Each structure stands twice: as structure tokens, then as C-alpha cells.
Amino acid sequence: MTDPQNWHSPTDDGRSIPVGDEPRAPRAPSGFVPPTNSAGALGADASPVWGPPPTWTPPPRPGLIPLRPLAFGTLLWAPFQVLRRNPKATFGSALLVQAGVALIAVIMVGLVSYFALERVENSPLEDRDALEAGATLSIVLSAIVPVALAVVASALLQGVIVIEVARATLGEKMRLSALWRAVLPRLWPLVLWTLMLSAAVLAAVALVAGLVVFFVSLGGAGVGLAVVTGILGTVALLALGIWLITKTSLVPSVIVLERLGIRAAVRRSWSLTRGYFWRTFGVQFLVATVVNLVSQIVTTPLSLLFGAALSVVDPNAAFDAYLPSVILYVLTILIGLVLGAVAAVVQSAATALIYIDLRMRKEGLDLELARFVESAPGAEEDPYRSKPAGTPESAWA
């Protein structure tokens, strides 16, 4: 007989443990279901895996904008965020481009004007009429080179900002040199598009102006007809220009990001803005208005203060007559360059963001961008060139 009160359970090492002190298995948490075999019974080799249950992982932190269709307010403030997020690449590019064009214009037009006018001044009186006509033509021709450079610079800057916005949306931050290298392969289509758009605007203005001049030359009732033509023509040009420029405003973004030709890019921009004309125009108009208001707020007080300072420093105009004008002109150019660079970045960024937003709304680009961000680093696929599933060919072509 054994005494139940003094009985001890054996252990592996031969020691005994008093009854009631045996080690207990840990209690399963509430809701725990042990793994079973295919028959539904607890498997012999099934061991529970302990630890906290898997938790929901949020999507990757967005870059410039959230990866979803954008609210109207986001489209308004995000262009200014582009400027603040990467100022060296964005503002630096705009300032370099605009300063370079302005410097070339001042040097070229200034030198040609100086030598042409000096020649006229030193010429005999009987030759001055012919020399003045030649001097005027030389000055006009010398301005063509800076204008052509301005077109190239505008196209380059648009491409740079489009790429910066696209990569910033993915959380990337590119250097100035990398942005310039990325846009160079698409520079000439951008330049050609800018030239075509500028030529169309000039041709329309020239047509209305030519009609006005023609009616004025008729005299009599033609003058009244010229006034009516001028008013109605201006209103029609303004309405038509707003419509066409808004509908084709996404062409630079399509050329750079989707690498399409001009004709296909125009169709693509027309398709993306269908049904969103007023939203597109409203964002572009409000951003441009804010930029212009800030420019006026900055430049107007500075001009007034500078004029007052000159009056205090030189009340008797003891300086050379041209010196105050030269100083004011140089200061105006410097301020204009800075504000112009800011305006170019913000307005180009607004258009690029509209392009991304419309693709998110119409083609599910937000899902494509999220998948790209979550993929392994070093993926070669470009999410902006890939056609999202379900997109009709007519919208992509």
C-alpha cells in the first residue's frame, strides 16, 4: 500500500515532485485554436506558434502627395510644396535658366543697340534715315536669338518640373543634374510643342489685328467696324485661347512621362481633361492668381521704397542722370528673376499634379504607384508609362 499523501510523481532525473506541484502547461489565450491534421484531430506533430497576432501594416508613407485622387485644396497647396521640398533642383533650375536667358538678351541686344545707335549718331545727316532703318532692323533681329533661347529654356524647365513632381510623388528626391539628364531625351519634342503653341497664339492675334487695320484703312464706317471687330475678336480670342490651352495643358507631362509624340500627346491631354475642364482651369487660374498677387505685393512696395530712398540720398540729383534709372532697372531685373523662377516652378508643378490626379481618377494610377512603391527597390518598370488594367486603348493612344 502506498500512502497517497506521501506519493511523489517521478521525474526524468529520478527526482520526485510532490503531488499538486507538477508543472502546468501554459494556458492558451482566449480564442486560440490549436492546429489540427486533415481529419480535424489534433496532430501529433502540430505545435502551436506563440506570439502576438499579425497586425495591419499601413501603406508606405507617401512622398509629395497621398497616393489617391487629390482634393481641390491639395492641388492648390502641393505646387508650393514642390518648391519647398527640393529648392536646389527646382528653384535652382528655374533661376539658372531664366538668368542665363536674361543675361544673353541683355548682352546681345545691348551691344547691338549700342553700336547701331552710335553709328547713326556719328553719321552724316543725309545718311541718317537709312542708317536708322538699318539700326532698327538690327536690334529686332538681335532679339530673335534671346526669344528662341527663351522657348528652349521654357521647354526645359517644364520637363524638369514634370519629372521632379513625378518622382517626388514616389518619395524620391533627385539632384539638379539628374533632373536635367532625365529631361534631355524629351527636350526637342517639348521645344517643338512650345514653338507650335506660341506660333498659333501669334497667328490668331495677328489675324484679328490685321482685320482691325484693314477696316481702319477703309475709313468712314470701316472705323466703327474696326472697333467692333477689335472688341469681339479680343473676347473670342480670349475664350478660344483659354479653352485650347486648358485642353492641351497636359501635353508636356504626357511627352515627358509617357514619351509620346506631339500628336498622340495632344489626343491624350484632350482625353484626360474630358469632363474635368473647369477643375483643370480653376486650379491653374487660382495658382497663377496667387503667384501674381504675391509678385505684386513684393515688387510694388520695393519700387516705392527704392524711389523714396533715391530722393532722400540724392535730393538735388547730383548723380549722373542715368545712374538712378540704371540701379532701379538692375534691381527690378533681379527681383523679377527670383519671382519669375518661383512662378515658373509653381505653375509647371500645378499642371503636372493635375495630370497625375486625372490619371488617378480615370485610370487607377494611384494603385499602380502604390504597387511600385511597395515593390522591391531597383525595379526597372516605370509606373507612369505602364497602362493600368482596364484602360481603353483609345485613352492611351
The answer to whether the CB of 190 falls within 8 A of the CB of 252 is yes
98: CB partners within 8 A, 6+ apart? 153, 337, 340, 341, 344
| DSSP classification of residue 16 | E
The widest CA-to-CA distance across the chain, in whole angstroms, is 149
Question: To which residue does cell 505602364 refer?
Answer: 386
User: How do residues 241-264 score in pLDDT, each as one tens digit?
Assistant: 999 999 999 999 999 999 999 999
Q: Is the dihedral of CA 80, 61, 169, 75 positive or negative?
A: negative
Helices (H), ranges, 184-220: 187-218
Does the pLDDT at position 279 exceed 50? yes
Question: To which residue does cell 547713326 refer?
Answer: 120
* Interior angle at CA 13, CA 7 and CA 14, nearest 5: 35
Kind plus residue range of the DSSP H or E element containing 397: none
| 382 vs 273: CA distance, rounded Å | 23
The answer to whether the CB of 287 falls within 8 A of the CB of 350 is yes
Query: Buried (b) or exposed (e) across 73-89, using 16+ Cβ within 10 A?
Result: ebbbebbbbbbebbeeb
Query: Buried (b) or exposed (e) across 232-248, using 16+ Cβ within 10 A?
Result: ebeeeeeeeeeeeebbb
User: How do residues 306-328 score in pLDDT, each as one tens digit?
Assistant: 666 666 655 555 555 556 666 77
**Quick one: pLDDT band at residue 360, thresholds 50, 70, 90?**
very high
pTM confidence score: 0.75
Report pLDDT for 40: 45
Kind plus residue range of the DSSP H or E element containing 8: strand 8-10
Residue-range domain boundaries for the chain: 84-371
263: CB partners within 8 A, 6+ apart? none
Report pLDDT for 387: 58
